[in-house]
A = this chain, B = another copy of it.
Amino acid sequence: MSIAQNTESTAKLRCIACGATPDSASQDFRCTACGDLLEFFFPGWTLDPLLSDPASLKALWLNRRTSSNALDQSGVWRFRELLPRIPNLEEHVITLREGNTPLYRLPRCARATGVENLHAKHQGMNPTASFKDTGMTFAASSAHQSGFRWVACASTGNTSASMAAYAARGNMHSLVLIPDGKISWGKLSQSLDYGALTCQLRTDFDGCVQILNDLVRQKPVYLLNSVNPYRIEGQKTAAIELMEQLAWEPPDHIIVPGGNLGNSSAIGKALVEMRELKLISRLPRLSIIQAHGANPFYRSVRELGGKKLEPKKLEPMTADTLATAIRIGNPASWKKALRVLQATGGEVEEVSEIEIATAKAEIGADGIGCEPASAVTLAGLKKLRRSGFVKPAEAVVLILTGHALKDPDFTIKFHRGELFADRAVAGTPDATEAAQAKYLQRAPVVLDANLGAVIAALDAAERNS
């Protein structure tokens, strides 16, 4: 069973490796010629009068902000001119009013890093609290348009939560495959809430992916893992929305967490396409930050010149990185991400666990909560500043990918001094205690119930601040 391109317009599928341009995708979204990933491209853009007129496009998108139409209210569909067109769109679109995420100044983090013009684009403010929603609305709508009743993914985290929500919203069923063993029920609470069918398989994560690929070839089940190129298209809109928020004046630098590398690919793709359409006049650098404990892309670029990627085996119970959302040993989209680095002149960096934890607390001190994986951006910026790759006068935007409530345990343990108690976490330097000390001054205290005790605590905190 194959999936039509779903496009009436000029969008076409293309293999990123062999360049084949199939008329339709197989259900595993792999090139039938060489097995690599597919992507959309738009050969006919220059023939479209609207797309050749940046000022009109910008005005159209701005104007839609006052519309009461559901498509216009979505931060993804508002920019639908830059997405492959879905036939009978209005009948099939599944939206939770995703996108529309805030761009925050980070004044304290700016002072701490010495980069005065520092913002965060918070994709954790999406409906299911992660950036996955922007891609999911587009891919799930495409599944609906193709007549699928079931969608599926292998994931224990943000992807399954997002998929289950959009499936429920679109009256489709969803299937989540996860490895058996000690899994995080907290991460699965959302998919259960939205009614997903959850199967724990007696195998590892790769085994789940393999069975899922077999499944979609035999049964009418739509694959929603990140190899799905529709997801990448939806995720592009975060960059378009960001440029609009910056009055179409690109920053010097955009910094993205690197896990499976689909998000870096999507944001980079949008930047290149926006410059092609003259919506922006120059490309910002896009840099990618990985956790040291899950750094196959970092090693590929730094040690192997990006010529190949050696997967890192991540065992379920190993404490390689606590930034679980980017704990990926074999990133599917690494070739797409590499192309983005090359196109924009960006850098790849890795950060340690204590650097992630303190960066998260620094973002929190600016009143912004994020999940640990998001905080690698600030930690990475500090390293890029130290190496001189980012200059103090540059305008920098961090992409935060998930909400703080995605991982409350991490936060609690850090602020109680328990996060690195066993020191088994990879990449944790001996200076852990020193880095944490400032935060432990604000660890919860137990006091007698009298006014004097509270005033004393208040005065002490005031002195330490």
Contacts and interface: CB of A to CB of B under 8 A. Distances in A.
A315 interface: no
A389 B197 CA distance: 37
Interface string A184-203: 01101110111111111111
A215 B65 CA distance: 46
Contacts of A200: 444-447
A68 B447 CA distance: 46
Contact of A199 (B104, B150, B405, B454): B454
A89 interface: no
A22 B457 CA distance: 33
A282 interface: no
Given A196-B442, A202-B449, A454-B215, A367 B168 contact: yes
Interface in A355-370: 360-361, 364-369
Given A198-B445, A465-B173, A412 B66 contact: no
A71 to B, nearest CB: 14
B198 A444 contact: yes
A454 B211 contact: yes
B63 A66 contact: yes
A125 interface: yes
A62 interface: yes
B195 A364 contact: yes
A128 interface: yes
Contacts of A221: 458
Given A129-B403, A458-B221, A411 B451 contact: no
Interface in A391-407: 403-406
A102 interface: yes
A263 B166 CA distance: 29
A168 B364 contact: yes
Contacts of A369: 128, 165, 190, 193-194
A288 to B, nearest CB: 25
A34 interface: no
Contacts of A211: 449-451, 454
A454 to B, nearest CB: 6
Contacts of A125: 125, 127
Given A199-B447, A442-B192, A455-B215, A367 B403 contact: no
A247 interface: yes
Contacts of A364: 168, 193-195
A201 B448 contact: yes
Interface residues of A, number: 90
A141 to B, nearest CB: 13
A367 B192 CA distance: 11
A287 interface: no
Contacts of A165: 367-369
Contact of A445 (B63, B199, B409, B449): B199
B404 A189 contact: yes
A186 B66 contact: no
A214 interface: yes
Contacts of A450: 211
Which 9 A-B pairs rank lowest in CB-CB distance, beginning with the nearest? A169-B367, A189-B408, A203-B449, A168-B367, A193-B364, A405-B405, A192-B415, A97-B102, A198-B444
Interface of A: 62-63, 65-66, 68, 73, 96-97, 100, 102, 104, 125, 127-129, 149-150, 165-170, 173, 175, 177, 180, 185-186, 188-190, 192-203, 207-208, 211, 214-215, 218-219, 221, 245, 247, 360-361, 364-369, 403-406, 408-409, 411-412, 415, 439, 442-451, 453-455, 457-458, 461-462, 465
18 contacts: A66-B66, A97-B104, A166-B367, A168-B365, A186-B408, A186-B412, A189-B408, A190-B369, A195-B439, A197-B458, A198-B443, A199-B444, A201-B453, A215-B451, A215-B458, A218-B451, A218-B455, A405-B406
